[in-house]
Copies of this chain bind each other. A is one copy, B any other.
Amino acid sequence: MKEYYLGLDLGGTKILTGLADKNGKILARSRKDTEAKYGEEKIIANMVESIEDVLAKTELKAEDIKCLGIGSPGPLDAKKGIIIENSNLPWKNVAIVDRIEKEVGIKTLLKNDANAAALGEKWFGAGRKVKNLVYITISTGVGGGAIINQELFTGVNDNACEIGHTVIDPDGPLCGCGNHGCLEAFASGTAIGRMAQEATAEGKSKKMLDLADNIIEDVDAVICAQAAYQGDQIAKDIFAIAGFYLGIGLANLINIFNTEMIILGGGVMKASDLFLDKALELMRENALAGPLEIVEIREAELGSDIGLMGAIAVAMEDRLIKNG
């Protein structure tokens, strides 16, 4: 039997699928719209088509594929292969692993996207040389995944490392999870956008209002970043607030995980020069000397491939650990 692996990154708008050899080298890719609005069956049909597409491109058959890894936003039950819920997809409790295995005849594994990304960066990205790392994605939300002694730390029911939902200021703003002052409520793209809208609504930033064509509802993290790059002090201050709390979050992770490396990824990191210095300053102030002195902070290396390479790493994890 040949040894190939598939990875599928299930997003709210697109499905990215890749076929890799046993070294993780991508031989073929497919990109398909998720078409979430047409519902569960259509999404699954698109996933299957996407898989068949990469197989056809490489003239490989299902029996040549050792494993398919799926990365998906959660919450999900990785052990049972069930996506419990997904704010971007119109479904609940979908036994996606069973369905895909039946449709394509390939052994399938499921992980949440942040955990998959942590595996991707561990095996193919910035974390290749370390055995312990914490990956943080700073995106719409803030998520995380930890690798301990080469292996993904999943927790008892695949809910470990929800660092976006650790409270770092009980008087802080309301988070999507219902708490006040989670890391995600300060340092996510959503949080930055919320602070930017609030400041604009209060008349504090003409620049952001201009950039949003006077539509306050259109002010978001991207506009806030644009304004900051154009010198708008209010926009800069908002990123500094995000950096302040991110730095405390980093220190807390360092004091809890005592890890070798923290890798920062996610879309908001494209504007890292607006907040990372502040974050590192706070991190150094708040972390204990012992764990601080051995940790390295790195930016993710996989860029827009992180979801796909993460899904491939999910498929390959056993092999990678054995050979790693």
Residues of A within 8 A of B (CB): 75, 84, 132, 148, 153-163, 165-171, 177, 179, 244-245, 248, 251-252, 255-260, 285-286, 288, 290-291, 294
Contact = CB atoms under 8 A, between A and B. Distances in A.
Nearest to A287: B165
17 contacts: A75-B288, A84-B290, A154-B258, A155-B257, A155-B259, A156-B291, A157-B290, A157-B294, A159-B290, A160-B291, A165-B255, A167-B168, A168-B168, A169-B170, A170-B244, A177-B288, A256-B256
Contacts of A170: 168-169, 244-245, 248
Given A153-B148, A256-B166, A288 B171 contact: no
Contacts of A157: 258, 290-291, 294
A157 B177 CA distance: 34
User: This chain: how many copies in the complex?
Assistant: 2
B168 A75 contact: no
Question: Ordered nearest first, which 3 A-B pairs have the shortest CB separation?
Answer: A155-B258, A160-B258, A159-B291
B156 A248 contact: no
A158 B155 CA distance: 20
Contact of A162 (B132, B171, B259, B291): B291
Contacts of A167: 168, 248, 251-252, 286
Contacts of A165: 255, 288
A161 B146 CA distance: 14
A294 B156 contact: yes
A172 to B, nearest CB: 9
Contact of A156 (B132, B153, B251, B286): B132
A297 to B, nearest CB: 14
Nearest to A162: B255
A169 B171 contact: yes
Nearest to A146: B256
A321 to B, nearest CB: 14
A285 B170 CA distance: 12
B75 A290 contact: yes
B257 A160 contact: yes
B285 A160 contact: no
Nearest to A249: B167
Contacts of A245: 170
A291 B169 contact: no
A183 to B, nearest CB: 10
A165 to B, nearest CB: 5
Given A252-B166, A255-B166, A291 B179 contact: no
A169 B182 CA distance: 11
A89 B259 CA distance: 28
Q: Which of A75, A168, A294 has the most CB of B within 10 A?
A: A168
